[in-house]
Structure 1
């Protein structure tokens, strides 16, 4: 797991090896250190990904978004039609940054 802090309020967490469930367990272990940042979960290293794999991230995502922070998953290994509705999944890191920026604007406007 690689952590890359950007813009003083966003951390990109990059999956290196192992399965999504192991990644989620490790993310839970360090979550308190990341809770004040917007999170981008980069899953590009996975050769294959299924909707069921993303289910493991649903709880972390809901908790994080409940704290008024963005939680965006980056992967191009799954069709947007397969993504659970409570998750935000985009195919590129730039799109993840754009989502976070839009979320911040909405929060500033009270939407």
Structure 2
């Protein structure tokens, strides 16, 4: 996994060969990130099942409770299979748009 600190978020990019390896690494390194906006870019070369993506719901809830944004990027996911509160998008540009939109909503008190 590669992590990059951007202006308003931390970007995690999968470089592992298996989803389990990436997820295990992320869970160990997530401990101090609930106060940061997080975007995870899962490589399209990972063969990820919907049940595996659902594992990130826990982290999405943590971030929502702490007033930060959590977005998952995965190009070939059916977003209708997940709750509306779970931010899953196909591109980094869309992930940054979700982050910006949620920041505006927080500023307005929603």
TM-score by length of 1: 0.87
Structure 1 residue 45: Cα displacement: 4.2
Cα distance in structure 1, aligned partners of 2:6 and 2:49:
28
**How much is the aligned-residue C-alpha RMSD, in angstroms?**
1.6
Give the number of equivalent residue pairs.
109
Matched ranges for 1:56-75 at <5 A: 56-75=55-74
Within 2, Cα distance between the matches of 1:47 and 1:77?
11
Q: CA deviation at 1:56?
A: 1.4
After the TM superposition, which segments of 4 or more aligned residues of structure 1 sit over 6 Å from their partners? none
Partner of 2:108: 109
Distance in 2 separating the partners of 1:45 and 1:87: 19
**Secondary structure of 1:23's match?**
helix
Structure 2: 5+ residue stretches without partners: none
Structure 1 position 15, deviation (Å): 0.9
2:3 corresponds to 1:6: no
The residue number in structure 1 matching 2:54 is: 55
Extract unaligned runs of 5+ from structure 1: none
